[in-house]
Amino acid sequence: MFSCASCGYKFKYKEAMPFSWNARVGRDCPNCGTRQYYSAASRKKSMYFTLVGMIIIIFSNSINLPLPYVFLIAGVMVSALLLLTPFIFELSDEEEPMW
């Protein structure tokens, strides 16, 4: 689960969720108010997830899987990633450069 990079506050799941759709601008820590961003390592992770997802979609396309199934797989993967984000990503109190 996320913890604040400056005060160590452990986010509750419900507080951690909005990061998934607010990752670029960051969000304030509910405890100390410091703006938190995904760490560079976390953003790299999310990039790899996207990459793997694209490979799976291209693969399922090449084995002639019907389009609705491809969309279904993509949807399941996106929601799984969103739901798991607070467990696999970490926060940083500054916007770290990607590389």
Which residues are at the interface with Zn ion (CB under 5 A)? 4, 7, 9, 29, 31-32
Task: Tell me whether residue 4 or residue 85 sits nearer to Zn ion (CB atom).
Answer: 4
Closer to Zn ion at the Cβ: 9 or 49?
9
Sign of torsion over alpha carbons 12, 37, 39, 51: positive
Least separation, in Å, of the C-beta of 35 and Zn ion? 10
Smallest distance from Zn ion to CB 93, Å? 8
Nearer to Zn ion, 60 or 92 (CB): 92
